[in-house]
């Protein structure tokens, strides 16, 4: 049986995933604002430092896996917290846990992304770039003139930056080469307290209800937790740097031709360079 760190373990998908892991006999070290083995506020540098350190202490320096589910939805006025929890609250913890994950030899990590990455139009590139550069203040400034649209932009931007970070990082020698399988799960609207709060707000509810979902309705947190558990299992040994969409078809509805796509002619030089540098490692 293994030891797993789960952030956002007190609610929604993180809670369901933690319960399923515990039911299978694993040890779960939950991280959340309350009701968790480690209570910490991932929106602050100190909270992230405490969370990273206490998990390592409780895990005795070896983690078989991690689920990064703590996060906020696109709540107007909370842009700064969204940027910090959704992006830094994942990336900083995983950097701190990398050695403990490598120590397990076959560790798996599932990061909660979102289908807002591909279905939110016109997310500024500079918002994503600022987050990837580790500058949440610049990310928030980049959308300050957008009024109520700022929060969805920071939310989608945080999940785009996170997905790009996952894909860049997953393939590195320190990660894939050290036996760690790092992937992201991108849900659509899932019936959790996060969604219930959106549905309780008239204008957010209108946007959620009118959003195209070919399968109809909402996903259930227990279904998404099954995907998480699967992505932590040996069946996922060959899954690296993937962003798995479980969203009732919204991404496919809007973006059927966006991916897969062949490498464009102007990307050939970079492609060939990557071919050569991989062989030289
Ligand atoms: P939830 O609101 O039910 O659970 C999120 C958990 O994160 C809560 O227990 C909360 O206390 C914790 N959290 C929030 N801020 C924190 C902080 N500063 N420090 C520590 N913990 C904090 O949300 P849900 O729906 O389970 O979401 C899980 C993840 O999935 C989030 O990253 C969310 O962005 C993502 N997601 C959710 C979707 C949905 O429709 N529910 C859709 C797509 C992605």
Q: What is the pLDDT of residues 84-107, one digit of tens each?
A: 999 999 999 999 999 999 999 999
What distances in angstroms separate CA 5 from CA 18, 38, 43, 69, 109, one per listed residue? Answer: 9, 10, 18, 10, 9
pLDDT tens by residue, 113-167? 999 999 999 999 999 999 999 999 999 999 999 999 999 999 999 999 999 999 9
| Number of neighbouring beta carbons within 10 Å of residue 156 | 24
Residue 244: helix, strand or coil by DSSP? strand
Which among 155, 218, 253, 271 is annotated as catalytic?
155
Rounded to the nearest angstrom, the distance between the alpha carbon of 266 and the centre of ligand 1 is 39
Q: Say if residues 21 and 62 touch (Cβ distance below 8 Å).
A: no
CA 199 to chain centre: 22
pLDDT tens by residue, 57-77? 999 999 999 999 999 999 999
The question of whether 155 is a catalytic residue gets the answer yes
Cα-only R_g, the chain: 18
Q: Say if residues 260 and 142 touch (Cβ distance below 8 Å).
A: no
Altogether, the residues listed in the chain come to a count of: 281
pTM of the model: 0.98
What is the DSSP secondary-structure string of 246-271? ESTTHHHHHHTTTSS-PPPGGGHHHH
Peptide bond into 88 cis (omega under 30): no
Residue of the CA atom closest to atom 34 of ligand 1: 71
Sheet hosting strand 65-68, strand order edge to edge: 38-39, 27-32, 3-7, 65-68, 108-112, 181-187, 243-246
C-alpha dihedral, 69 to 250 to 180 to 21, nearest 10°: 50
**Which distant-in-sequence residues (6+ apart) come within 8 Å of 12 by Cβ?**
69, 190, 192, 193, 194, 221
**Residue 182 φ/ψ, nearest 5 degrees:** -110, 120
Confidence category of residue 281, pLDDT binned at 50, 70, 90: low
Q: Which residues line ligand 1 at a C-beta cut-off of 6 Å?
A: 8, 10-14, 32-33, 41-43, 69-73, 85-86, 112, 114, 187, 189-190, 192-195
Residue of the CA atom closest to atom 26 of ligand 1: 12
What distances in angstroms separate CA 27 from CA 5, 23, 66, 274, one per listed residue? Answer: 9, 10, 11, 39
CA–CA separation, 143 vs 126, rounded Å?
Answer: 9
């Amino acid at each position: 049986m293994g030891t797993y760190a789960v952030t956002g373990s007190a609610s929604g998908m993180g809670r369901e995933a933690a319960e399923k892991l515990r039911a299978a006999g694993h040890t779960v070290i939950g991280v959340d604002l309350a009701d968790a083995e480690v209570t910490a506020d991932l929106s602050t540098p100190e909270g992230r430092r405490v969370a990273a350190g206490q998990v390592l202490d409780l895990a005795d320096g070896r983690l078989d896996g991690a689920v990064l589910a703590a996060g906020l939805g696109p709540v107007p006025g909370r842009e700064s917290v969204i940027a910090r929890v959704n992006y830094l609250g994942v990336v900083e913890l995983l950097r701190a846990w990398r050695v403990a994950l490598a120590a397990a030899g076959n560790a798996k990590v599932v990061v909660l992304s979102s289908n807002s990455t591909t279905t939110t139009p016109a997310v500024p590139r500079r918002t994503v770039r600022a987050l990837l550069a580790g500058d949440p203040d610049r990310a928030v400034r980049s959308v300050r003139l957008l009024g109520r649209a700022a929060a969805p932009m920071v939310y989608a931007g945080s999940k785009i930056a996170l997905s790009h970070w996952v894909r860049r990082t997953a393939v590195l020698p320190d990660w894939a080469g050290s036996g760690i399988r790092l992937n992201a799960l991108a849900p659509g609207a899932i019936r959790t307290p996060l969604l219930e709060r959106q549905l309780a707000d008239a204008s957010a509810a209108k946007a959620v209800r009118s959003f195209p979902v070919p399968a109809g309705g909402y996903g259930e947190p227990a279904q998404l937790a099954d995907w998480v558990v699967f992505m932590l299992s040996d069946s996922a040994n060959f899954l690296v740097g993937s962003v798995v969409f479980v969203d009732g078809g919204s991404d496919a509805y809007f973006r059927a031709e966006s991916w897969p796509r062949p490498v464009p002619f102007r990307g050939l030089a970079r492609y060939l360079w990557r071919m050569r540098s991989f062989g030289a490692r």
